[in-house]
Amino acid sequence: MIAKYSQKLQSLVYLATQRGKHQISLSLTTLSLRQSVIIASILITGLVMGMRQAGWLQFLELVTFDQMVRLQPDAGPNPRLLVVTITEADIKKQWPISDQTLSQVLANLQQAKPKAIGLDLYRNLPQPPGYEALIKQLHSPNVVTITKLADPDGEGVSPIPGLPAEQIGFNDLVVDQDGVVRRNLIYAQEGKDKFYSFSLQLSLKYLGKPRDALKVKSKALLLGNTVFPALSADAGGYQNIDNAGYQVMISYRSPEKVARQVSLTQVLQGQFDPNWVKDKVVLIGTTAPSLKDLLFTPYSAGETVNPGMPGVLLHAQLVSQILNTTLDQQSIFWFWPEWAEFLWVWTWALIGGVLAWRLRHPLLLGVAGAISAAILFSICFSIFTQAGWIPLIAPTLALAIAAGTVLGYKLLHHTLRDALTDLPNRNLFLKQLEWVIADTKLHKNSRFALLFLGIDRFKVINEGFGHQFGDLFLFNVSQRLKACLGNRGILARVGGDEFAILLKNITDSSEVTVVADQLQKEMSLPFKNNGQEIFTSISIGIAFNQTELDYQPIALLRDAHTAMYRAKDLGKGRHEVFATGMHTQVVKRFQLEIDLHRAIEQQEFFLCYQPIVCLKTSKIIGFEALVRWQHPQHGFVSPAEFIPVTEETGLIIPLGKWILKEACHQLSVWQAQFPADPPLMMSINLSGHQLSEANLVEYIQQILKETGINGKSLKLEITESVAMNDVEAAISILLQLRTLNLQLSIDDFGTGYSSLSYLHRFPVNTLKVDRSFVSRMEETDEDAAIVQTIIMLSHALGMNVVAEGVETAAQQAKLQVLGCEYGQGYFFSKPLDSKSATVLLDSQYTRVCYGVA
């Protein structure tokens, strides 16, 4: 898996060198969020480990080390030790303390039989009187004295002359850069010279072991079975420290009372319990603050009054640690190898990344981040109590940086990606287009194409089934488009129901139409959306780049968009290549939309009525209502032009309601004025959108009630293509309409490729033969045969026939011979306004009345 990402990373680096910095940030957004989390965490781990390597984190790691030392419980005084302190009161009496006094102290202590006495005082010069006596005391084999090794920038202090080597230990301490003592230099070696620390020497005396008992290996000291591993230069939070000799981290025992303390005066006066001394290690040293033998320890940061620890107490800590390690198996600080630290830091970077990826709410992310950091600290601390020092600052940093980076990436991702489909959004797509345009400028011959895809009738789906359903549908569409396109091009969502595809490096425009055909074919298969089968189609506009022209991305997208509009206008479910001149059409079309909105408000519509005539008697049996629009500037606008636009914009719903009401109202007037048997009929055209309106049936019912006309006098016309679009739905709505006793008719029959197998299931009364067949009836035998067949078919199915577009007497005669019941057309009358239609009805009525009379 890592190999896969590193490959991706390599290709990104390649991209960066190829295209410059600006573009890599955008290329990055082609990563999924999950990929970004993994890649970011690896990069950030590398970064943090690099900072660590450079030593930038050492200070903070040491600060937290100290914090954890202070958090540990106080282990109290070590019963193996006693410290004789030279206090402020002691030095007030005499300083330096005379040899005589000191030898008296040693003598008093020796009486109680300690195992070892450590004198943490430099006595290389005599302080008379009593020098002889002191030297004698110092020669007791259980006494250890100090020396200071010469370091590069200081003079050493030589040991008391004449004492055997076994009784001398160095008291040098290793101090970290921040002045704090955290390490114990136990032993060092230079050539043949061996150097034993004061604490080690005392411990050996206590253990009753000679110097030879210490085995020196290359990376550890061995004392009996106890191993003291030498500190490496990069151990724990350290980075490149001076780890000369053999050092271990100090396990501090207690901030103050590392051992029982008695003062020098008390010892001199014999005011101590001999049991405090018997078999113990006794250390003698100054604790008087004025002598300034104070050192900073991890406890110092917590102390404001006395931040320093007297040297003798610090040495007591060291002795205590060595003894507890050898005798009680107390563990020495351990550390992780570099690779384990890397994994550890990476883990936390991943956690930070995943949190930022998964959690949406910033507050939630903040809380989760804080909890993670707390968990991290408690893990580190509990390992610390088991003497393990593992990185704390590095993973905390990795956690925070990874969360921040992924959060930033997420925001960038959201500004450039569509949240619903995760496809590039319009902004990103335009950027990508910009690069491709720049690219084609460099390589003169390369061509590309832009496909603009619009889902046909999405509005109907979205409004009919609800937005959630619509979203799911869009997602499914995007998935199918993605799968169909593969890696042939870049897919983006550029609008609500609009997608765009960029096809690069095309050699032939037929390649593009092949893709468009494939997409269209794929989209015509039904979608299973929430268990519901949805049929749709897409209209595609195609724009090609012309290498000689200077293109703006937005202009190219607009061209493709325009071509898509054209494809929709030409009947949907098809593709059109952009051609100049399309823009003006589109602008016109937009203007039309605006005008239509106004027309509805201002009631610029009116209805015309075209008579439908009984061919046998030549009597008007009813009318077809046809809507008209009187545009204030352009005059009369054909319904063939504006009805499709009202359908696409949804304006057909209010307009259709008005038409229904108006036509019914007119019919009720005429029925009252011209009673007949059967009564006059009114045919009203119903668009597909009206048909899927939820409350259509109730609305018509209400109008019938208002106007008082019988449902039988009302005939609804739906075109054959609408009826066939979704057969089952159409049948179910038509059946509902039939409950109102309405008459139903299939309009433009013969143009919609009806499946005859469905026809008998439609609950309709009438077929209207399309005008195109009637008008050609006299010219070709085929059309005459078609008309004849339709008439026979409808009769066989129990329906009657209306022939549309009858223009000549010959047509009328022929239709009559073929048994067609009704006719409609200019031969009888053009559509008339209500006044003229009333006049026409009136003349017929008087004729009939005369006839009767």
Residue ranges binding Ca ion (CB under 5 A): 685, 717, 747-748, 804
* List 549, 640, 849, 852, residue binding ligand C2E (CB under 6 A): 640
Distance CA(114)–CA(280), nearest Å, equals 5
Asked if 627 touches ligand C2E (CB under 6 A), the answer is: yes
204 vs 613 by CB, closer to ligand C2E: 613
Q: Which stretch binds ligand C2E (CB under 6 A): 219-227, 469-477, 521-529, 800-808?
A: 800-808
577 vs 651 by CB, closer to ligand C2E: 651
Please, what is the minimum distance in Å from the beta carbon of residue 610 to ligand C2E? 6
State the alpha helices, DSSP H only, in 125-174: 131-138
One DSSP character per residue, 71-136 reads HSPP----TTEEEEEE-HHHHHH-SSPPHHHHHHHHHHHHHT--SEEEE-S--SS--SS-HHHHHH
Distance CA(509)–CA(522), nearest Å, equals 20
157 vs 626 by CB, closer to ligand C2E: 626
Binding residue count for ligand C2E, defined by CB under 6 A? 21
243 vs 725 by CB, closer to ligand C2E: 725
578 vs 822 by CB, closer to Ca ion: 822
Judge whether 259 and 266 are in contact, CB under 8 Å. no
The site map against ligand C2E for 681-700 (x = CB under 6 A) is ----x-x-------------
Residue 167 is given by DSSP the state G
Asked if 639 touches ligand C2E (CB under 6 A), the answer is: yes
Residue tagged 């006719």 (tokens): 823
State the alpha helices, DSSP H only, in 492-633: 509-524, 553-569, 582-602
643 binds, among ligand C2E, Ca ion, none (CB under 5 to 8 A by kind): ligand C2E
Q: Is 627 helix (H, G, I), strand (E, B) or coil?
A: strand
- Residue 280 is which amino acid? K
Judge whether 548 and 447 are in contact, CB under 8 Å. no
- Provide the residue count of the chain: 853
* List 61, 498, 662, 748, residue binding ligand C2E (CB under 6 A): 748
Residue 174 has phi, psi (to 5 degrees) of -90, 125
639 binds, among ligand C2E, Ca ion, none (CB under 5 to 8 A by kind): ligand C2E
Asked if 809 touches ligand C2E (CB under 6 A), the answer is: no
626 binds, among Ca ion, ligand C2E, none (CB under 5 to 8 A by kind): ligand C2E
Judge whether 723 and 746 are in contact, CB under 8 Å. yes
Please, what is the minimum distance in Å from the beta carbon of residue 842 to ligand C2E? 22
* List 638, 695, 755, 757, residue binding ligand C2E (CB under 6 A): 638
Please, what is the minimum distance in Å from the beta carbon of residue 624 to Ca ion? 6
* List 293, 805, 818, 834, residue binding ligand C2E (CB under 6 A): 805
Q: Which two tokens mark 750?
A: 């013969």
Q: Pick the closest to residue 686 from 649, 739, 730, 727 (CA basis).
A: 730
Q: Which two tokens mark 199?
A: 């604490």
Asked if 559 touches ligand C2E (CB under 6 A), the answer is: no
Q: Which stretch binds ligand C2E (CB under 6 A): 387-395, 468-476, 578-586, 823-831?
A: 823-831
Beta-bridged to residue 536, according to DSSP, are none
Asked if 643 touches ligand C2E (CB under 6 A), the answer is: yes
CB-neighbour burial class of residue 76 (10 A; exposed 0-12, middle 13-18, buried 19+) = exposed
Asked if 720 touches ligand C2E (CB under 6 A), the answer is: no
Residue 31 has phi, psi (to 5 degrees) of -75, 145
Distance CA(833)–CA(837), nearest Å, equals 6
Dihedral sign for Cα 474, 480, 484, 487, please: positive
* List 831, 832, 834, 841, residue binding ligand C2E (CB under 6 A): 831
429 vs 629 by CB, closer to Ca ion: 629
- Residue 568 is which amino acid? K
582-602 and 639-649 helices cross at what angle (nearest 10)? 80
285 binds, among ligand C2E, Ca ion, none (CB under 5 to 8 A by kind): none
Judge whether 146 and 159 are in contact, CB under 8 Å. yes
Asked if 807 touches ligand C2E (CB under 6 A), the answer is: yes
Please, what is the minimum distance in Å from the beta carbon of residue 666 to ligand C2E? 12
Asked if 825 touches ligand C2E (CB under 6 A), the answer is: yes
Q: Which two tokens mark 514?
A: 């092949």
Distance CA(533)–CA(147), nearest Å, equals 94
516 binds, among ligand C2E, Ca ion, none (CB under 5 to 8 A by kind): none
Asked if 606 touches ligand C2E (CB under 6 A), the answer is: no
Cα radius of gyration (the chain): 50
Asked if 747 touches ligand C2E (CB under 6 A), the answer is: yes
Q: Which stretch binds ligand C2E (CB under 6 A): 24-32, 95-103, 151-159, 805-813?
A: 805-813
544 vs 623 by CB, closer to ligand C2E: 623
115 vs 657 by CB, closer to Ca ion: 657
Asked if 666 touches ligand C2E (CB under 6 A), the answer is: no
- Residue 680 is which amino acid? L
Judge whether 536 and 555 are in contact, CB under 8 Å. no
Please, what is the minimum distance in Å from the beta carbon of residue 668 to ligand C2E? 18
Please, what is the minimum distance in Å from the beta carbon of residue 368 to ligand C2E? 58
- Residue 211 is which amino acid? R
557 vs 627 by CB, closer to ligand C2E: 627
Give the list of residues 6+ apart from residue 150 with CB closer than 8 angstroms, or none: 156
Please, what is the minimum distance in Å from the beta carbon of residue 690 to ligand C2E? 7
Distance CA(672)–CA(690), nearest Å, equals 29
Residue 600 has phi, psi (to 5 degrees) of -70, -40
378 vs 630 by CB, closer to ligand C2E: 630
Please, what is the minimum distance in Å from the beta carbon of residue 722 to ligand C2E? 10
Instruction: Give the footprint of ligand C2E on this chain (CB under 6 A).
Output: 610, 625-627, 638-640, 643, 659, 685, 687, 747-748, 771, 805-807, 824-826, 831
